Structure 1
Amino acid sequence: MDDRDWLILHTLNNEKSITKAGQSLFLAQPTLTKRLKQIETEFGVKIVDRGIKGVQFTPEGEYLAKRANEMLQFLREIKEDIENFNQNVSGTLRLGVSNFISKYKLPILLKLFKDQYPDVEFQVDTGYSKDIFNLVYNQTTHIGFVRGDYSWPGQKLLLFEEKLCIASTNKLELEDLPRLPRIDYRTDQLYKQLVENWWTEHYSQPPYIAMSVDQGDTCKEMILNGLGYAIMPSLFVDGIEEIHKIYLKDNKGNYLTRKTWMFYHEESLNLNVVKAFVNFIKDIDLYKL
């Protein structure tokens, strides 16, 4: 077994499909199947069963897939430790970033950091905040950029805070909202619950959801075309003159806000590249990017 074999088991366990695993690893399906059979021969056990629903791991296969994840993490830590022996800031920085931040903030952040530390490479995973939280919690990534107030046991830094607003091309009255078409977009559960709690505090009837779209940017375009209003963080629509905003408040008169955090584990600061990036972010005003 070499690190490529462990990667095959890890990827196959994630994808549950020979075809998708091969695409992810840039391996032809026959090549992947042949290597999998060689691994089975080496251990003397059957690792997977292939059926209509894709790949199913045997109990022995599930054990090996679990150990594959541990082995890959162990190998990654060895490489990082070796890179860290010199005092230069180099190596691969692993980041988990929520979808909004990855589009609107991350590219310029990485460019500025790369300008200072040209020997650094990046591995970036994007997704919903809950998924990013899990990545950094399990130390799959060094640092996570997460939107929302998740309970985090490690180190964290508040990056910025944005108000929630009702966004529309028409001026609206709050009492009319239940009768007006609303556009929702796919987001994480913590944010959806925040909006739902605000709604139930103010209205006895459900909203009129005219459409649900895939992401906030699509929602913004629907708003701009006059197809309804949306409830969204203000950064989505700041600076767009055609969009009117009403900032949400709770029953105590406090603005509803959504915070964006940087999460990381204290021990990860032992890596020069992580420590440099954390210090870099502390000196950056993300509102101005």
Structure 2
Amino acid sequence: MRDSDWEIIDELFRNPHMSRAAASLFMTQPTLTKRLQHIERELGVRIADRTPKGLAFTPEGTYLAQRAAEHIELVNQTLRGLEDLRRATRKAITIGSSYTFNKYNLWDVLSGYAEAGDPEVRFTVVNEQSDVLWRMLLDGNVDVAFVRGDHEGPARRILVDCTQAYLVSREPVDLADLPHLPRIDFRTNIESTGLLDAWWHERFSCEMPPGMSVGFIDFVWELVARDEGYVLCFVPAKFVNDHGLCLTPLVRADGSPVVRRTWCLYPKAALPPHMESFVRYVREAASIPEGTILRPQEG
């Protein structure tokens, strides 16, 4: 019997109507009927009888349907196992990276590993918002994720970045005046927005009013330099203040800085050797001590 014969028996048992089963199998009804008759002749049994309500499986047909389901599951398990083996032997890693980490940090990590680690490893990089990358890691769609913010869940983590939030403006600004000044907003992840919203609410006892939305952070620096408004954001350590902007650190009422951590996240399950090697490199070369705050460069 062919694998397709087992699929026919399985589909007919789950959907005992010739026309519907034929459609699900992408076959014509006459073709399906002929194939079923051929299977019955080959096995020497009657698999199903036609009735006004559809097909009625015989005891032999019911037994074959049970074995068909087992056969299909065995084939699927075998194919999945082979794919897992292919992935393990291929030195490939799919990395998820937030946009700003990709711009300022990721390529230093990858090039450093290519020199100090295994140059045969090939990387595929997926850029997304951190909350999206977190879900992709849990679903197995990326192997490693560099994400902003603290995500609770079943993953191992390495702290790779810790930056402070700033009020960025063209000229010095009194923090008390912020609710009355134009603010520039931009696309960022939920965790970063939550930290800034919490700071605002603690200081002004109200929700942060909406600002002018401009998309990503790169365009924000130009607008701030033109004195179109101010922005509250986490400034990367490798940001170079070419415009001579005024950066005022944001601190909470207790004097602690508002900081955002970036983590390298990876599965808790055992890793193939090339992934274990990469994670070890990140831990040794790219991680930072807990509590360290990386500050932006001077212009």
Please name the residue that 1:111 is paired with: 111
How far off its partner does 1:211 sit? 1.1
Partner of 2:173: 172
Q: Which residue of 2 aligns with 1:41?
A: 26
Runs of 4+ in 1 over 6 A off after TM superposition: 70-73
- Indicate yes or no: 2:262 matched with 1:255: no
Task: Provide the residue aligned with 1:197 in structure 2.
Answer: 198
Distance 1:42 1:194, change over 3 A: farther
Q: Which residue of 1 aligns with 2:138?
A: 137
**Alignment pair present for 1:235 and 2:220:** no
**Match for 1:198: what amino acid?**
W
Secondary structure at 1:181 match in 2: coil
Q: Check whether the contact 1:135–1:141 (CA below 8 A) recurs between aligned residues.
A: yes
Q: Deviations over 1:199-248 (max 9, x none)?
A: 11111455554410111112222212221110111217843161111111
Deviation readout 1:45-96 (Å, 9 max, x if unpaired) = xxxxxxxxxxxxxxxxxxxxxx9xx999765423123x1xxxxxx6111111
Distance of 1:75 and 1:126 partners within structure 2: 29
TM-score (norm 1): 0.68
Provide the C-alpha distance between the structure 1 equivalents of 2:134 and 2:165, rounded to a whole number of angstroms: 22
One-letter amino acid matched to 2:140: Q
Q: Match for residue 95 of structure 2?
A: 95
Q: Counterpart of 1:106 in 2: which secondary structure?
A: helix
Aligned residue-pair number:
221
Counterpart in the other structure of 1:246: 248
**Residue 86 of structure 2 aligns to which amino acid in structure 1?**
K
Contact 1:148–1:260 (CA<8 Å) still a contact in 2?
A: yes
Please give the alpha-carbon distance, in whole angstroms, between the structure 2 residues aligned to 1:95 and 1:75.
Answer: 22
Aligned to 1:267: 269
8 Å contact kept, 1:162–1:259:
yes
Alignment of structure 1 residues 154-165 onto 2, 5 Å: 154-165=155-166
Larger Rg: 2
Deviates more, 1:109-118 or 1:214-223: 109-118
For 2:217 and 2:265, how far apart are their aligned partners in 1? 23
Contact 2:184 2:213 in 1 (8 A): yes
1:77 to 74, 79, 84: 84
Distance (Å, rounded) in 2 between the aligned partners of 1:72 and 1:217: 45
CA separation of 1:78 and 1:165: change in aligned 2, threshold 3 A? same
CA contact (8 A) 1:220 1:237 kept: no
Q: By how many angstroms is 1:266 displaced? A: 2.6
Residues 148 and 191 in structure 1, CA contact (< 8 A), matched pair in contact too:
yes
Structure 1: any 5+ residue segments left out of the alignment? 1-37, 45-66, 84-89
Contact 2:197–2:208 (CA under 8 A) maintained in structure 1 = no
1:178/1:205 contact within 8 Å kept: no
Deviation of 1:141 (Å): 1.4
The CA deviation at 1:43 is 11
Higher strand share: 1
